[in-house]
């Protein structure tokens, strides 16, 4: 513990000096670091350059770029937390560029050879040593097979796992320190934020997991070409190497090329937002890094996505809550929007439903009282997060990626088709999805599934009941010749059958009652 504290405090000094050099030293004041400690930590840092940006968010972005991959990724993660860092800083951190100097082609060849147990020239007919993209965790090379197939090969940076492990330990140390020294910070769950970041980066450190994510996403869109995923080449994929088909298409950010090629930008925007909604609500598994660099457009205005290192999952109950909340806002039922938050447990029970409904109205009316093309789902989510402190709402980590991705997707769609009514597109999807999943038949089906799950546990319950009955049998509670228990059965079998029948009848009764209630 002492060694860890010394190591991380030493790291904190390096970071404090870097922040100071970029003009972001004020963040140490905001964190409550005492002035004498700040003075010690920033000795020799010097002052910020004359051309340093005047916004703290931009200063933090510049410092993160200097501090390296972990801090770039963590800064991007904090961009989803305007409730923690503020709206302006969150917006600036969202623009952090995840681009680093590439490592050599020779190093990439060495890693591929070690991972696949074959020389690169045996694996590929042609391998381009010059990477086409280099980010904080990995870089991508193009390759070809002897049959002419074109591939994209993603390779992890050497030593990246150890570097991230060291920095994440520092982030966790700092979060734990904040929670212990500043109790009000516990509401923002800094330790939970770091843990979420740790889990997401752990997935990115094993490219087999990314390959599995791509495969699952492709399976969810089987038969639907509007959102496409490159096929994984599993025979050339390992923990530090991922090989997929090389995709074609035009980068979605290149609107000039899209227009010149005759692409329908409004249709592209529609396919993108519907693709995201299908992932989030229909499947509960969504690409959570849908920025423009990861999106391409094919000849039929369909979306092609790459880079599946950051994915989000929402369980069915969360999806239902979010969908019902959005629908309540859509129809202007702010009381119901508030009730959904309470039912989901997002707002403590000691808060006022009426007051929260009033707050929902206050943030929604300015958003919806605009021309249809300007109505923003993403802005609604951001505004909802902005009122968390007033109602003592705890952070919902499972919704952070959803909010972040929705902001990015909507921003991209706005750039493609500024006049498109994105809310109408979303409403069209919700109008179909919500009744199917919140209507009486859907609830009945869910109830049947829950009871069926309970029924599957019946054998275990029977065994426990038998043990309990046997414990009572010596006391004479299960005489062989009493009641409806046939004399041919001994105490052990009589107890077992009585217990089994009672549980079975109970399950059947619950099933019938639940189905009747849901249907009528």
d(C-alpha 65, C-alpha 71), whole Å: 7
Burial profile 428-449: b = 16 or more Cβ within 10 angstroms, e = fewer: ebbeebbeebeeeeebbebbee
Catalytic, 463? Answer: no
Residue 515's nearest CA partner among 456, 446, 457 is 446
Tell the burial category of 368 from Cβ atoms under 10 Å away from its Cβ (0-12, 13-18, 19+).
Answer: middle
Tell the burial category of 474 from Cβ atoms under 10 Å away from its Cβ (0-12, 13-18, 19+).
Answer: exposed
Tell the burial category of 53 from Cβ atoms under 10 Å away from its Cβ (0-12, 13-18, 19+).
Answer: middle
Q: Are 84 and 188 in contact (CB under 8 A)?
A: yes
Q: Are 329 and 321 in contact (CB under 8 A)?
A: no
d(C-alpha 287, C-alpha 423), whole Å: 20
Tell the burial category of 241 from Cβ atoms under 10 Å away from its Cβ (0-12, 13-18, 19+).
Answer: buried
Instruction: Kindly name the residue from 167, 289, 301, 307 that is annotated as catalytic.
Output: 289
d(C-alpha 268, C-alpha 346), whole Å: 35
d(C-alpha 392, C-alpha 356), whole Å: 11
CB atoms within 10 A of CB 266: 17
Q: What are phi and psi of 297, to 5 degrees?
A: -125, 130
DSSP 8-state code for residue 119: -
Residue 369, CB-side half-sphere exposure with 13 Å CA sphere: 6
Handedness of CA 30, 36, 37, 38 (dihedral sign): positive
Q: Are 140 and 152 in contact (CB under 8 A)?
A: yes
Q: Active-site positions? A: 289
């Amino acid at each position: 513990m002492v060694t860890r504290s010394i190591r991380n405090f030493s790291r904190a000094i390096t970071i404090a000096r870097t922040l100071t050099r970029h003009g972001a030293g004020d963040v140490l004041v905001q964190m409550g670091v005492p002035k004498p400690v700040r003075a010690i930590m920033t000795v020799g840092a010097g002052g910020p350059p004359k051309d340093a940006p005047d916004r703290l968010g931009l200063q933090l972005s510049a410092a993160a770029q200097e501090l390296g991959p972990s801090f770039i990724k963590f800064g991007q993660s904090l961009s989803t937390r305007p409730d923690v860092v503020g709206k302006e800083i969150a917006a600036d951190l969202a623009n952090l560029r995840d681009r680093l100097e590439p490592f050599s082609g020779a190093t990439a060849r060495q890693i591929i050879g070690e991972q696949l147990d074959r020389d690169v020239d045996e694996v590929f007919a042609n391998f381009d040593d010059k990477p086409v993209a280099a980010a904080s965790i990995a870089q991508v090379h193009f390759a070809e097979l002897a049959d002419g197939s074109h591939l994209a090969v993603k390779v992890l940076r050497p030593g990246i796992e150890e570097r991230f492990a060291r920095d994440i330990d520092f982030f966790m140390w700092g979060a734990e320190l904040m929670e212990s020294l500043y109790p009000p910070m516990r509401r923002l769950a800094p330790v939970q934020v770091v843990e979420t970041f740790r889990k997401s980066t752990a997935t990115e450190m094993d490219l087999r997991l990314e390959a599995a994510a791509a495969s699952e996403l492709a399976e969810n869109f089987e038969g639907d070409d509007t959102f496409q995923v490159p096929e994984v080449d599993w025979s050339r994929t390992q923990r530090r190497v991922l090989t997929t088909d090389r995709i074609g298409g035009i980068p979605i950010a290149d609107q000039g090329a899209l227009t010149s090629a005759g692409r329908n930008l409004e249709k592209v925007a529609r396919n993108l937002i519907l693709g995201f909604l299908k992932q989030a609500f229909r499947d509960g598994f969504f690409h959570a890094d849908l920025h423009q660099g990861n999106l391409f457009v094919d000849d039929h205005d369909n979306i092609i996505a790459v880079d599946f290192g950051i994915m989000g999952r929402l369980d069915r109950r969360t999806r239902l809550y979010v969908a019902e909340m959005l629908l309540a806002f859509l129809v202007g039922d702010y009381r119901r929007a508030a009730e959904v938050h309470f039912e989901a447990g997002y707002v403590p029970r000691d808060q006022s439903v009426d007051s929260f409904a009033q707050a929902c109205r206050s943030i929604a009316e300015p958003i919806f009282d605009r021309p249809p093309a300007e109505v923003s789902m993403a802005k609604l989510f951001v505004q909802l997060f902005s009122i968390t402190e007033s109602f003592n709402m705890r952070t919902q980590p499972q919704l952070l990626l959803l909010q972040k991705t929705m902001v990015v997707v909507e921003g991209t769609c706005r750039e493609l088709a500024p006049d498109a009514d994105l809310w109408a597109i979303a409403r069209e999807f919700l109008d179909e999805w919500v009744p199917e999943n919140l209507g009486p038949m859907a609830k009945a089906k869910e109830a049947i599934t829950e009871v069926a799950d309970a029924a599957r546990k019946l054998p275990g319950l029977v065994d426990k009941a038998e043990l309990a009955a046997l414990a009572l049998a010596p006391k004479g509670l299960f005489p062989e010749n009493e009641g409806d228990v046939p004399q041919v059965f001994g105490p052990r079998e009589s107890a077992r059958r009585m217990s089994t029948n009672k549980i079975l009848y109970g399950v059947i009764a619950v099933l019938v009652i639940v189905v009747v209630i849901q249907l009528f």
